[in-house]
Amino acid sequence: MNEHEEALEPEVLEPEQAAGAPAVADDVLPDTLYLMPVPNRPFFPGQVQPVGMNPQEWASTLKAVADSGTRLIGLSYVPPGENGEIDIRRFPEIGCAVRLHRPPGGADQPGQFMAQGLRRFRIVRWLNDKPPFLVQVEYPRSQGEKDSDEIKAYAMALIKAIKELLPLNPLYSEELKQYLSNFSPNQPSLLADFSAALTTASGEQLQEILDTLPLRSRMEKVLTLLRKEREVAELQGQITSQVNDKVSDQQREFFLREQLKIIQKELGISKDDRTSDADMFEERIAGLELPEVVAKRIDDELQKLSVLETGSPEYGVTRNYLDWATSVPWGVHSEDNLDLKHARGVLAEHHDGLEDVKERILEFLAVGSFKGEIAGSIMLLVGPPGVGKTSIGRSVADALGREFCRFSLGGMRDEAEIKGHRRTYVGAMPGKFVQALKEVKVSNPVIMLDEIDKIGASYQGDPASALLEVLDPEQNSEFLDHYLDLRVDLSKVLFICTANQLDTIPGPLLDRMEVTRLSGYVAEEKLAIARNHLWPRQLERHGLGEDQLKINDAGLKYVIDSYCREAGVRNLEKQLSRIMRKSIVRMLDTGEEKLRVGKKDIDDLLGKPHFMPDKPVRGLGVATGLAWTAMGGATLAIESSQIHTLNRGFKLTGRLGETMRESAEIAYSYVIAHLKDYGCDRDFFDMSMVHLHVPEGATPKDGPSAGITMATALVSLARKERIKRPLAMTGELTLTGQVLPVGGIREKVIAARRSKIMELILPHANRRDFEELPEYLREGINVHFARNYREVFEFVFHEHRKDKSLH
């Protein structure tokens, strides 16, 4: 049956006209009502509850109701507007007429009045559209047969739905008791309205119930609201139950733990947190040899810990301090292994080449063996990347039998990283050296400071200055860490620092270290390193056995000569790793279990060679120089050319630094001043625009060591005579023609061997540096030592003058 059919059914009396209720005749309810909007939800017939309002805003309406003598008012659901203004167009057609039982204005609750819902009303016509709102109304009746079986079934369904809600929320029980005390459950219209008012539905949904006059349709809609209400109540109950269970479990666990602590404490089985912490710290210091000042400070902190509450922030700060102070290995030293034979074997096993560095380390160990102890020392290993500086530090620790700790200083900008933060800061920690001592658990480890030339500085301080105290053997016995505020003895620590260059290390810091230079490797050394160290290590990393993949010496040498000409071996290891990866792919594709790699296979595995066989640049005005770089030694072909003969001029290119430009100007001036001495045309430079260029323009170059090379290139250009044999040179030239010594002789000799140039010209003052080189570096090299440029000229252009040379 639809709503249109319901509208044709007999009318049902409202509750006031039903049997057993006080009769309210139609003519008792007035045909005009003063209206008041309710903002939250509509009012239903049969409801008895307080209604809130603003007494100042609705004073005129309440006064008009009081003057009428009926104590009746109409309540309509009107949601609040944007500006708080009330528009009569927003009033719904259906509202509820109520009787005021407790008029507003009382001293206890001036903004409320008690209302009893009587009947629905429908607005017929507005009589006054300004407060007090006055409308002409009619009172529509509910439509449907209240005694029909269908209505009774709906009523029973409503009562059942309400009963299902009762266990879920005790408020529903109170509402039901109030309803039963005032009305009969046999009144379906009132039951439907009460059930709707019982829910937490929105105002719009409840207004729809109020607007529905057909009884069956109204009861269907109310049943839907009750069903949703039950689902929400059940979900709320589940959430509340879960929260209560969790809280109760936590409370139960808390009480049980507290009881357990008390029981264990009474039986002497356990201690509280504070006592446990204190006992742990005392146990730590039992095996340490604490200086008097340190022992007193720790005792003071332990006493402070005993009176602090465990939950206070100060307790955490004190406990953290004691944790660090008792973790420092005060007076704990490891025993050194001073056996030189063992040390020599460890160094030989870990490294090929670097004989001078190994000799320096053995001298250091020999002194310690002679004295019976090895005092702290500071060594600085300087060399290009990939030559094994960091690994040498670990080898020294293994040779001595000492603990090893390494950290990098590259990019460090905060001096607190070195000396620690003061305890006043949140999250304060000791410096790196105290952390290292805690990690190794002895006071005489080997500590490696990597990349000391890349240390930074900022507004937070200068870490390089903070290192002055650490790396000074006269001061580091009383190194003060800001966090501990205690003197820590670092004099027994062996410090090994590494750097790529010395230019960026502050002078005072460099003065405190013993500098040992590591040059690059020649091809023979790289071959030994690859065969003995790099290849076995890469086999292990790739999960290959020695028999599964092999490479012959010819293949290794081809990789070294054609792909890896840098000073170190790091790139060589990368290329060997690449060979293994590609070989594994080939083995999986072909199903082979073993693979052999030779020289002919390298191009397929690594691609085209990066370096072609060296062909020294020769020609008129070209001379080969030797240079030192942070990546090792290098050969540079310096070229000079006569551009035109229109006017005199001199041009320099090649990203040259200030010092190198000065060397070029000196060479140019010296050659012009001595044209006659060297058999040149006196007017050559007067009528020539000369361009001097140093190739590899992408690489910045600086230093005075190319002075004689530039002069030789200019002399070759002026004499119109080319250098006829492979020859390289290095040396600083003065305006008077003196050849001054330069640095980096080892790197430059290695660069010459790498380029297969076996005849060199060096400053006479560098004779000692050359003679100190290992025999395998000097073998086969023909070196001329020059005191002045006249000797350089004789060696270059008068090949028969070899009586002054050293073979």
Residues that are catalytic: 705, 748
Cβ-in-10-Å burial (0-12, 13-18, 19+) of 15 comes to: buried
Q: What is the DSSP string of 566-594?
A: SSSSHHHHHHHHHHHHHHHHHHHHH--S-
Gap between the Cα atoms of 699 and 81, Å rounded: 76
Question: Structure tokens of 290?
Answer: 């604490």
Gap between the Cα atoms of 733 and 789, Å rounded: 8
Tokens 């920690």, located at residue: 429
Q: Is-contact 9 142, C-beta < 8 A? A: no
Give 474's Cβ-side CA count (13 Å radius): 3
Other beta carbons less than 10 A from residue 88's beta carbon = 16
DSSP run (H or E) holding 399: helix 389-400
Question: Structure tokens of 604?
Answer: 């397929």
Instruction: State the DSSP code for 701.
Output: B
Tokens 């001078």, located at residue: 356
Question: Structure tokens of 180?
Answer: 């039963």
* AA identity, residue 479: F
Helices in 674-784 by DSSP H: which ranges?
Answer: 707-719, 745-754, 767-771, 775-778
Comparing CA positions, the residue from 85, 86, 112 lying closest to residue 100 is 112
Gap between the Cα atoms of 260 and 257, Å rounded: 5
Gap between the Cα atoms of 559 and 565, Å rounded: 9
The number of angstroms, rounded, from the C-alpha of 637 to the middle of its chain's C-alpha atoms is 46
DSSP run (H or E) holding 406: strand 404-408
Q: Is-contact 514 380, C-beta < 8 A? A: yes
Give 802's Cβ-side CA count (13 Å radius): 8
Compute CA distances 564 → 53, 78, 386, 614, whole Å.
91, 87, 12, 14
Compute CA distances 582 → 335, 560, 601, whole Å.
47, 18, 11
Q: Is-contact 325 298, C-beta < 8 A? A: yes
Q: Which residues contact 740 (CB under 8 A, 6 or more apart)?
A: 704, 731, 732, 733, 734, 763, 765
Tokens 């030339």, located at residue: 453
Tokens 């890896």, located at residue: 564
Q: Is-contact 563 593, C-beta < 8 A? A: no
DSSP run (H or E) holding 600: helix 599-606
> Which letter, b or e, does each residue of 253-277 get, where b requires 16 or more Cβ atoms within 10 Å of its Cβ?
eeeeeeeeeeeeeeeeeeeeebeeb
**Three-class SS of residue 132?**
coil
